[in-house]
Structure 1
Amino acid sequence: MNMAEQDAAQQLDLADELLEVLPNLLQRLRADVPLDADPQSLEPEWRDIAELRATRGQFRLLGILVRQERCTMQDLAEQLAVTPPTATAMVKRLFAQGYIERLRDEQDWRVVWVRPTERGKKAITLYNQVRRAALQKRLGQLNDEELERLRAVLPVLKHLSEVRL
């Protein structure tokens, strides 16, 4: 096996490992969000989290809106890497649940803006706080060397997430 083939094989192995580890970590963080079995016994904010927790895409959509304050349907579809009808279905569900609102553009009535409601903002804020705390607890289980190695790889992972193909 020549050097190029070895590099390609190592990259394939690394890709396989990343594709296994990263989704598992994110899934574990979602699972770490504490929820009672009976949604009626939960505080209203926790009911919102339980309701939203059903689909990761809804959290992603709402998170985008909270960060950007508002988006058009086309922008949301592009950022979520889904088709416009899929984004529309997600928006309809979140709208019906009271997490987002739709507004017509003042200059161009064909354009529909979507933005989070206060309920949506609170739900995302609480969810992110709980996930951050869960990740912090997991990080607390690492030794100093593991933490340093993780810090060193973060810029690489960030760059990898920003690479356009």
Structure 2
Amino acid sequence: MTDAPKSSLNEDYSPVFQDIARFRQLIFDSLLKPHNVTMSQGFVLVQLFRENGLRQADIAQRMQVAPVTTSKLIDKLEAQGYVERRSDPEDRRSNRIWATDRGLAIVKTMTRTVRDIDQIANEGLSDAEFATVIKALTVMRKNLQKAAAQR
């Protein structure tokens, strides 16, 4: 007798992983609403916090989205004073994106927000349970990254 296939759907056929990501995004966006920053925009800022002056194409590649999507995110961040575009001195057809002081400061707020969301999400889990969850999710992420790279 074989076991039933493993699935990310729970008993009501709701996709657990997608629900977790969706709820995290809803909470993140609501907590950062006063700063007018979304999770997607925050990802751009985090990339610039790690390496300021990236090309738009580099940000798109890191986010694994189309360059037009990144361009729209950068437009919104630029309008709010979080980033600025500068011509790439090595390639005039390309822009480099620089986080402003205001943009770098909001990354610290976002980091605190993620920690707050983690605390909400992880409530009731022992340290051992949490370690098991992280280990399993890390394996799943690696499996999915490998499969995505083959497509």
Q: TM-score range by the shorter chain?
A: 0.7 to 0.9
Using structure 1 for the length normalisation, give the TM-score. 0.68
Distance in 1 (CA, whole Å) between partners of 2:135 and 2:69 is: 37
1:47 is matched with which residue? 34
RMSD: 3.2
Structure 1 residues 125 and 157, CA, compared in 2 at 3 Å: closer, same or farther?
farther
Structure 1 residues 110 and 83, CA, compared in 2 at 3 Å: closer, same or farther?
same
Which structure has the greater CA radius of gyration? 1
Give the length in aligned residue pairs: 145
Provide, for residues 34-65 of structure 1, a one-character-per-residue CA deviation record: whole Å limited to 9, x for no partner.
Answer: 968xxxxxxxx8732xx113xx3212222222
2:108 is matched with which residue? 125
Distance in 1 (CA, whole Å) between partners of 2:53 and 2:144 is: 23
Q: Answer whether contact 2:29 2:37 (CA < 8 A) is retained.
A: no
Q: Answer whether contact 2:45 2:107 (CA < 8 A) is retained.
A: yes
- Residue 18 (structure 2) pairs with residue 23 (structure 1): yes
Using structure 2 for the length normalisation, give the TM-score. 0.73
Structure 2 unaligned residues grouped into runs of 5+: none
Which is worse superposed, 154-163 or 83-92? 154-163
Q: How much identity, in percent, do the aligned residues show?
A: 22
Opposite residue 75 of structure 1, the aligned amino acid is D
Distance in 2 (CA, whole Å) between partners of 1:23 and 1:131 is: 17
